[in-house]
Amino acid sequence: MSASEGNPAAGGWTEPRATALLVLADGTVLEGFGLGAIGEAPGEVCFNTAMTGYQEILTDPSYAGQIITFTFPHIGNVGVNEDDTETVNAAASSGVRGVVLHAAITEPSNWRSNRHFDSWLKSRNIVGICGVDTRALTALIRDGGMPNAVIAHSPDGVFDVARLKAEAARLPDMAGLDLVPLVTSAQRYEWEETPWRWPVGYGKRDKAAHRVVAIDYGVKRNILRLLAKAGCEVTVVPSTASAEDILALKPDGVFLSNGPGDPAATGEYAVPVIRELLERKIPTFGICLGHQMLALAIGGQTLKMKQGHHGANHPVQDKTTGKVEIVSMNHGFAVDPDSLPAHAVETHVSLFDGSNSGIALTDRPAFSVQHHPEASPGPQDSHYLFQRFVELMESDKAGKAA
Protein backbone atom coordinates (compact mmCIF):
# COMPACT_ATOMS: atom_id res chain seq x y z
CA MET A 1 0.00 0.00 0.00
CA SER A 2 1.30 3.44 -0.90
CA ALA A 3 1.86 5.87 1.96
CA SER A 4 -0.12 8.47 -0.02
CA GLU A 5 -3.27 6.37 -0.52
CA GLY A 6 -6.44 7.46 1.19
CA ASN A 7 -9.70 5.79 2.04
CA PRO A 8 -12.99 7.01 0.59
CA ALA A 9 -15.43 8.41 3.15
CA ALA A 10 -18.63 10.41 3.10
CA GLY A 11 -17.87 13.99 2.24
CA GLY A 12 -14.36 13.39 0.87
CA TRP A 13 -11.11 11.68 1.82
CA THR A 14 -9.69 10.87 5.24
CA GLU A 15 -6.19 10.03 6.36
CA PRO A 16 -5.44 6.35 5.67
CA ARG A 17 -5.51 4.05 8.66
CA ALA A 18 -2.12 2.76 9.85
CA THR A 19 -1.59 -0.88 8.90
CA ALA A 20 1.75 -1.27 10.70
CA LEU A 21 3.27 -0.21 14.00
CA LEU A 22 6.76 -0.07 15.46
CA VAL A 23 6.33 -0.24 19.22
CA LEU A 24 9.46 0.58 21.21
CA ALA A 25 10.30 -0.78 24.66
CA ASP A 26 9.79 2.67 26.24
CA GLY A 27 6.19 2.73 24.99
CA THR A 28 6.79 4.94 21.93
CA VAL A 29 4.49 3.94 19.05
CA LEU A 30 5.40 4.79 15.45
CA GLU A 31 2.62 4.35 12.90
CA GLY A 32 2.99 3.55 9.22
CA PHE A 33 1.90 1.28 6.43
CA GLY A 34 2.59 -2.42 6.36
CA LEU A 35 4.67 -4.26 3.82
CA GLY A 36 6.28 -7.66 3.65
CA ALA A 37 5.05 -10.42 5.93
CA ILE A 38 1.84 -10.05 7.95
CA GLY A 39 2.25 -10.58 11.66
CA GLU A 40 4.53 -9.46 14.47
CA ALA A 41 8.25 -9.75 15.14
CA PRO A 42 10.40 -8.69 18.11
CA GLY A 43 13.93 -7.38 17.78
CA GLU A 44 16.58 -4.78 18.50
CA VAL A 45 16.23 -1.69 16.29
CA CYS A 46 19.39 -0.46 14.56
CA PHE A 47 19.97 1.89 11.64
CA ASN A 48 22.02 1.30 8.50
CA THR A 49 23.46 4.22 6.51
CA ALA A 50 24.19 2.37 3.25
CA MET A 51 22.58 3.87 0.15
CA THR A 52 22.64 0.63 -1.84
CA GLY A 53 22.73 -3.10 -1.23
CA TYR A 54 19.56 -3.58 0.79
CA GLN A 55 19.21 -7.19 -0.37
CA GLU A 56 22.73 -8.05 0.81
CA ILE A 57 22.10 -6.27 4.12
CA LEU A 58 18.80 -8.04 4.78
CA THR A 59 20.41 -11.43 4.07
CA ASP A 60 23.51 -10.83 6.20
CA PRO A 61 23.28 -13.33 9.09
CA SER A 62 25.02 -10.81 11.37
CA TYR A 63 21.65 -8.99 11.61
CA ALA A 64 19.84 -11.92 13.23
CA GLY A 65 17.47 -10.70 15.94
CA GLN A 66 17.39 -7.13 14.65
CA ILE A 67 14.96 -4.73 12.99
CA ILE A 68 16.80 -2.64 10.40
CA THR A 69 16.00 1.02 9.84
CA PHE A 70 17.36 2.29 6.53
CA THR A 71 18.41 5.94 6.65
CA PHE A 72 18.34 6.14 2.84
CA PRO A 73 14.71 6.91 1.91
CA HIS A 74 14.33 4.86 -1.28
CA ILE A 75 14.61 1.15 -0.54
CA GLY A 76 13.25 -1.52 -2.87
CA ASN A 77 13.39 0.57 -6.02
CA VAL A 78 15.72 -1.84 -7.86
CA GLY A 79 13.82 -4.96 -6.80
CA VAL A 80 15.69 -8.15 -5.92
CA ASN A 81 17.49 -10.86 -7.87
CA GLU A 82 18.96 -14.32 -7.40
CA ASP A 83 22.59 -13.20 -7.15
CA ASP A 84 22.72 -10.71 -4.28
CA THR A 85 21.76 -12.96 -1.38
CA GLU A 86 24.43 -13.29 1.32
CA THR A 87 23.06 -16.23 3.30
CA VAL A 88 24.67 -19.43 2.06
CA ASN A 89 21.27 -21.09 1.74
CA ALA A 90 19.42 -18.63 -0.49
CA ALA A 91 16.03 -19.90 0.65
CA ALA A 92 16.80 -19.72 4.36
CA SER A 93 16.11 -16.81 6.69
CA SER A 94 19.10 -14.71 7.74
CA GLY A 95 17.45 -14.02 11.07
CA VAL A 96 16.47 -10.39 10.33
CA ARG A 97 13.19 -9.68 12.12
CA GLY A 98 11.91 -6.56 10.38
CA VAL A 99 12.60 -3.55 8.19
CA VAL A 100 11.68 0.13 8.65
CA LEU A 101 11.46 2.41 5.60
CA HIS A 102 10.66 6.03 4.94
CA ALA A 103 9.15 5.81 1.45
CA ALA A 104 6.74 3.24 0.09
CA ILE A 105 8.22 0.59 -2.22
CA THR A 106 8.06 1.49 -5.91
CA GLU A 107 7.98 -0.85 -8.87
CA PRO A 108 11.49 -2.22 -9.53
CA SER A 109 13.58 -0.41 -12.10
CA ASN A 110 16.71 -2.42 -12.81
CA TRP A 111 17.68 -4.92 -15.50
CA ARG A 112 18.89 -7.43 -12.90
CA SER A 113 15.60 -7.49 -10.99
CA ASN A 114 13.39 -10.56 -11.24
CA ARG A 115 11.15 -9.97 -8.24
CA HIS A 116 9.34 -7.17 -6.40
CA PHE A 117 10.89 -6.28 -3.05
CA ASP A 118 7.59 -6.62 -1.18
CA SER A 119 7.02 -10.13 -2.53
CA TRP A 120 10.57 -11.07 -1.54
CA LEU A 121 10.05 -9.78 2.02
CA LYS A 122 6.92 -11.91 2.33
CA SER A 123 8.78 -15.00 1.11
CA ARG A 124 11.45 -14.51 3.81
CA ASN A 125 8.89 -13.74 6.53
CA ILE A 126 10.29 -10.24 7.15
CA VAL A 127 7.74 -7.79 8.58
CA GLY A 128 8.02 -4.26 7.24
CA ILE A 129 6.71 -0.75 7.81
CA CYS A 130 7.00 2.36 5.62
CA GLY A 131 5.86 5.95 6.04
CA VAL A 132 8.08 6.37 9.11
CA ASP A 133 10.23 9.43 9.83
CA THR A 134 13.44 7.43 9.71
CA ARG A 135 15.58 10.52 10.36
CA ALA A 136 13.82 11.04 13.70
CA LEU A 137 14.11 7.33 14.55
CA THR A 138 17.82 7.41 13.73
CA ALA A 139 18.31 10.42 15.97
CA LEU A 140 16.48 8.60 18.75
CA ILE A 141 18.84 5.62 18.40
CA ARG A 142 21.90 7.87 18.35
CA ASP A 143 20.81 9.61 21.53
CA GLY A 144 19.43 6.67 23.49
CA GLY A 145 20.97 3.56 21.98
CA MET A 146 19.41 0.67 20.08
CA PRO A 147 15.98 -0.05 21.61
CA ASN A 148 14.09 -3.30 21.69
CA ALA A 149 10.80 -3.18 19.81
CA VAL A 150 7.97 -5.14 18.24
CA ILE A 151 7.13 -4.50 14.61
CA ALA A 152 3.58 -5.43 13.62
CA HIS A 153 1.73 -5.55 10.28
CA SER A 154 -2.03 -6.03 10.11
CA PRO A 155 -3.86 -5.14 6.86
CA ASP A 156 -7.05 -4.26 8.76
CA GLY A 157 -5.20 -1.81 11.00
CA VAL A 158 -6.39 -3.46 14.21
CA PHE A 159 -3.70 -3.78 16.91
CA ASP A 160 -3.63 -4.58 20.60
CA VAL A 161 -1.27 -1.73 21.41
CA ALA A 162 -1.18 -2.41 25.14
CA ARG A 163 -0.08 -5.98 24.52
CA LEU A 164 2.57 -4.90 22.01
CA LYS A 165 3.96 -2.36 24.48
CA ALA A 166 4.15 -5.00 27.20
CA GLU A 167 5.87 -7.46 24.85
CA ALA A 168 8.42 -4.87 23.73
CA ALA A 169 9.16 -3.91 27.33
CA ARG A 170 9.95 -7.47 28.42
CA LEU A 171 12.22 -8.41 25.52
CA PRO A 172 15.71 -9.47 26.65
CA ASP A 173 18.67 -7.22 25.92
CA MET A 174 20.99 -8.28 23.11
CA ALA A 175 23.78 -8.53 25.68
CA GLY A 176 23.97 -12.14 26.79
CA LEU A 177 22.23 -13.60 23.72
CA ASP A 178 23.89 -16.31 21.64
CA LEU A 179 22.16 -16.00 18.25
CA VAL A 180 24.67 -18.00 16.24
CA PRO A 181 22.57 -21.22 16.44
CA LEU A 182 19.92 -19.41 14.36
CA VAL A 183 22.25 -18.92 11.40
CA THR A 184 25.12 -21.43 11.47
CA SER A 185 25.24 -24.35 9.05
CA ALA A 186 24.03 -27.71 10.28
CA GLN A 187 26.77 -29.72 8.61
CA ARG A 188 30.15 -29.43 6.91
CA TYR A 189 30.35 -28.44 3.24
CA GLU A 190 32.87 -27.41 0.58
CA TRP A 191 32.89 -24.02 -1.16
CA GLU A 192 34.25 -23.32 -4.68
CA GLU A 193 32.31 -20.28 -5.98
CA THR A 194 34.35 -17.15 -6.78
CA PRO A 195 33.21 -13.48 -7.01
CA TRP A 196 30.84 -12.12 -9.63
CA ARG A 197 32.34 -10.43 -12.66
CA TRP A 198 30.94 -8.96 -15.82
CA PRO A 199 29.63 -10.48 -18.03
CA VAL A 200 29.93 -14.11 -16.88
CA GLY A 201 28.57 -13.84 -13.32
CA TYR A 202 30.00 -16.01 -10.55
CA GLY A 203 32.96 -18.24 -11.29
CA LYS A 204 34.42 -21.44 -9.86
CA ARG A 205 37.83 -22.02 -8.32
CA ASP A 206 39.90 -24.30 -10.53
CA LYS A 207 42.89 -24.97 -8.28
CA ALA A 208 43.91 -24.32 -4.71
CA ALA A 209 47.21 -23.75 -2.96
CA HIS A 210 45.92 -23.64 0.62
CA ARG A 211 43.39 -25.62 2.64
CA VAL A 212 41.22 -23.36 4.83
CA VAL A 213 38.62 -24.38 7.39
CA ALA A 214 35.99 -21.67 7.91
CA ILE A 215 34.08 -21.78 11.19
CA ASP A 216 30.55 -20.65 10.40
CA TYR A 217 29.11 -18.28 13.01
CA GLY A 218 26.87 -16.81 10.28
CA VAL A 219 29.21 -16.54 7.33
CA LYS A 220 28.47 -14.41 4.25
CA ARG A 221 28.77 -15.80 0.75
CA ASN A 222 31.15 -13.10 -0.44
CA ILE A 223 33.67 -13.96 2.27
CA LEU A 224 33.78 -17.53 1.01
CA ARG A 225 34.00 -16.32 -2.58
CA LEU A 226 37.03 -14.15 -1.83
CA LEU A 227 38.75 -16.98 0.01
CA ALA A 228 38.18 -19.18 -3.04
CA LYS A 229 39.45 -16.44 -5.35
CA ALA A 230 42.60 -16.21 -3.23
CA GLY A 231 43.37 -19.83 -4.06
CA CYS A 232 41.93 -21.48 -0.98
CA GLU A 233 40.24 -24.86 -0.81
CA VAL A 234 37.48 -23.93 1.64
CA THR A 235 35.70 -26.31 3.98
CA VAL A 236 32.95 -24.72 6.08
CA VAL A 237 32.17 -26.28 9.47
CA PRO A 238 29.36 -25.50 11.97
CA SER A 239 29.99 -23.15 14.88
CA THR A 240 30.00 -26.10 17.27
CA ALA A 241 32.77 -28.00 15.49
CA SER A 242 35.42 -29.19 17.93
CA ALA A 243 39.13 -28.49 17.65
CA GLU A 244 39.61 -32.19 16.91
CA ASP A 245 37.12 -32.01 14.03
CA ILE A 246 38.93 -29.01 12.56
CA LEU A 247 42.44 -30.39 13.04
CA ALA A 248 41.39 -33.65 11.37
CA LEU A 249 40.91 -31.65 8.15
CA LYS A 250 44.61 -30.67 8.27
CA PRO A 251 44.05 -26.97 7.56
CA ASP A 252 46.77 -24.59 6.42
CA GLY A 253 44.63 -21.84 7.92
CA VAL A 254 41.46 -21.26 9.92
CA PHE A 255 38.92 -18.55 9.23
CA LEU A 256 36.59 -17.21 11.96
CA SER A 257 33.43 -15.81 10.37
CA ASN A 258 31.07 -12.95 11.08
CA GLY A 259 27.85 -13.58 12.99
CA PRO A 260 25.17 -12.11 15.27
CA GLY A 261 24.58 -11.66 18.99
CA ASP A 262 26.79 -11.18 22.03
CA PRO A 263 30.32 -12.53 21.40
CA ALA A 264 30.74 -13.37 25.08
CA ALA A 265 27.71 -15.69 24.90
CA THR A 266 28.94 -17.44 21.76
CA GLY A 267 32.40 -17.55 23.28
CA GLU A 268 31.22 -19.98 25.96
CA TYR A 269 31.70 -22.80 23.45
CA ALA A 270 33.69 -21.11 20.66
CA VAL A 271 36.60 -19.66 22.64
CA PRO A 272 38.02 -22.98 23.94
CA VAL A 273 38.15 -24.27 20.35
CA ILE A 274 39.92 -21.14 19.10
CA ARG A 275 42.42 -21.29 21.96
CA GLU A 276 43.33 -24.85 21.02
CA LEU A 277 43.86 -23.81 17.38
CA LEU A 278 46.01 -20.86 18.46
CA GLU A 279 48.12 -23.18 20.63
CA ARG A 280 48.78 -25.24 17.49
CA LYS A 281 49.94 -22.00 15.80
CA ILE A 282 47.63 -22.46 12.82
CA PRO A 283 47.35 -19.23 10.75
CA THR A 284 44.04 -17.63 11.71
CA PHE A 285 41.97 -14.80 10.23
CA GLY A 286 38.76 -13.43 11.78
CA ILE A 287 36.10 -10.98 10.61
CA CYS A 288 33.46 -9.19 12.73
CA LEU A 289 32.24 -11.72 15.32
CA GLY A 290 35.33 -13.75 14.42
CA HIS A 291 37.45 -10.74 15.38
CA GLN A 292 35.69 -10.53 18.73
CA MET A 293 36.09 -14.30 19.25
CA LEU A 294 39.84 -14.02 18.66
CA ALA A 295 40.08 -11.17 21.17
CA LEU A 296 38.17 -13.18 23.78
CA ALA A 297 40.36 -16.21 23.14
CA ILE A 298 43.50 -14.28 24.12
CA GLY A 299 41.94 -12.82 27.27
CA GLY A 300 40.38 -9.63 25.91
CA GLN A 301 36.87 -8.35 26.55
CA THR A 302 34.01 -7.04 24.42
CA LEU A 303 31.60 -4.19 25.10
CA LYS A 304 28.04 -3.42 23.97
CA MET A 305 28.03 -0.28 21.81
CA LYS A 306 25.44 2.46 22.10
CA GLN A 307 24.24 2.52 18.50
CA GLY A 308 26.77 0.21 16.88
CA HIS A 309 28.29 0.60 13.43
CA HIS A 310 26.05 -0.32 10.50
CA GLY A 311 26.75 0.97 7.01
CA ALA A 312 28.97 0.88 3.91
CA ASN A 313 30.72 4.21 4.39
CA HIS A 314 32.86 3.92 7.54
CA PRO A 315 36.43 5.26 7.54
CA VAL A 316 39.04 2.96 9.07
CA GLN A 317 42.80 3.38 9.24
CA ASP A 318 45.17 0.45 8.76
CA LYS A 319 47.85 1.41 11.28
CA THR A 320 50.36 -0.98 9.72
CA THR A 321 50.39 1.02 6.46
CA GLY A 322 48.82 4.34 7.44
CA LYS A 323 46.24 3.86 4.71
CA VAL A 324 42.68 5.09 5.29
CA GLU A 325 39.99 2.96 3.70
CA ILE A 326 36.21 3.18 3.48
CA VAL A 327 34.62 -0.04 4.69
CA SER A 328 31.39 -1.84 5.45
CA MET A 329 30.54 -2.40 9.10
CA ASN A 330 27.81 -4.25 10.94
CA HIS A 331 28.31 -4.78 14.64
CA GLY A 332 26.73 -3.81 17.96
CA PHE A 333 29.62 -5.02 20.12
CA ALA A 334 33.27 -4.00 20.03
CA VAL A 335 36.58 -5.21 21.39
CA ASP A 336 37.83 -3.21 24.37
CA PRO A 337 41.42 -2.30 23.33
CA ASP A 338 42.42 -1.65 26.94
CA SER A 339 41.65 -5.28 27.78
CA LEU A 340 44.02 -6.76 25.20
CA PRO A 341 47.24 -8.45 26.33
CA ALA A 342 50.68 -7.19 25.36
CA HIS A 343 51.04 -9.71 22.54
CA ALA A 344 48.02 -8.23 20.70
CA VAL A 345 48.75 -5.19 18.53
CA GLU A 346 45.97 -2.89 17.36
CA THR A 347 46.17 -2.81 13.56
CA HIS A 348 43.00 -0.95 12.58
CA VAL A 349 40.96 1.81 14.18
CA SER A 350 37.63 3.46 13.35
CA LEU A 351 38.04 7.12 12.42
CA PHE A 352 34.44 7.78 13.44
CA ASP A 353 34.86 7.07 17.14
CA GLY A 354 38.32 5.57 17.68
CA SER A 355 36.96 2.11 18.46
CA ASN A 356 39.08 -0.94 17.75
CA SER A 357 38.80 -2.35 14.23
CA GLY A 358 41.62 -4.88 14.08
CA ILE A 359 44.31 -6.77 15.94
CA ALA A 360 47.31 -8.98 15.17
CA LEU A 361 49.14 -11.31 17.53
CA THR A 362 52.91 -11.08 17.87
CA ASP A 363 53.37 -14.63 19.20
CA ARG A 364 50.94 -16.45 16.90
CA PRO A 365 50.16 -16.22 13.15
CA ALA A 366 46.73 -14.68 13.73
CA PHE A 367 44.93 -11.42 12.93
CA SER A 368 41.38 -10.14 12.65
CA VAL A 369 39.32 -7.08 11.73
CA GLN A 370 36.01 -5.74 13.03
CA HIS A 371 34.84 -4.43 9.66
CA HIS A 372 33.75 -6.45 6.62
CA PRO A 373 36.57 -6.47 4.03
CA GLU A 374 34.43 -8.58 1.69
CA ALA A 375 31.86 -5.71 1.67
CA SER A 376 28.77 -6.81 -0.33
CA PRO A 377 27.50 -4.20 -0.15
CA GLY A 378 30.24 -1.63 0.07
CA PRO A 379 33.64 -0.58 -1.28
CA GLN A 380 36.46 -3.00 -2.00
CA ASP A 381 39.19 -1.04 -0.20
CA SER A 382 39.89 -3.89 2.23
CA HIS A 383 40.03 -6.85 -0.15
CA TYR A 384 43.81 -6.91 0.43
CA LEU A 385 43.22 -8.55 3.81
CA PHE A 386 42.41 -11.85 2.11
CA GLN A 387 45.80 -11.71 0.42
CA ARG A 388 47.35 -10.91 3.80
CA PHE A 389 45.82 -14.15 5.10
CA VAL A 390 47.29 -16.07 2.15
CA GLU A 391 50.71 -14.56 2.81
CA LEU A 392 50.43 -15.62 6.45
CA MET A 393 49.78 -19.22 5.39
CA GLU A 394 52.62 -19.12 2.87
CA SER A 395 55.01 -17.78 5.49
CA ASP A 396 53.93 -20.50 7.92
CA LYS A 397 54.51 -23.21 5.30
CA ALA A 398 57.93 -21.77 4.46
CA GLY A 399 58.89 -21.75 8.12
CA LYS A 400 57.89 -25.38 8.57
CA ALA A 401 59.79 -26.41 5.46
CA ALA A 402 63.00 -24.66 6.55
Residue 374 known to be catalytic: yes
| Catalytic residue (one of 291, 348, 371, 372) | 372
Within 13 Å of residue 310, how many CA atoms lie on the same side as its CB?
Answer: 32
Calculate mean pLDDT across residues 74-85.
95
Active-site annotation holds for 153: no
CATH topology of domain 7-169: Glucose Oxidase; domain 1 (3.50.30)
Least confident of 87-91, 268-272, 358-362, 369-373: 87-91
- Give per-residue pLDDT as tens, 100-159: 999 999 999 999 999 999 999 999 999 999 999 999 999 999 999 999 999 999 999 999
The domain limits of the chain are: 7-169, 180-401
CA 315 distance to own-chain centroid: 18
Q: What is the mean pLDDT of residues 264-283?
A: 98
What is the reported pTM? 0.95
Q: What is the pLDDT of residues 199-250, one digit of tens each?
A: 889 999 999 999 999 999 999 999 999 999 999 999 999 999 999 999 999 9
Query: Apex CA 348: angle with CA 347 and CA 352, to 5°?
Result: 155
Residue 46's alpha-carbon distances to 96, 123, 126, in angstroms, are 11, 22, 15
Look up 331 and say whether it is catalytic.
no
CATH number of the domain at 180-401, please? 3.40.50.880
Q: Read off the pLDDT of residues 11-42 as tens digits, 9 standing for 90 and up.
A: 444 568 999 999 999 999 999 999 999 999 99
Residues 72/51, Cβ–Cβ less than 8 Å = yes
Active-site residue among 102, 288, 310, 314?
288
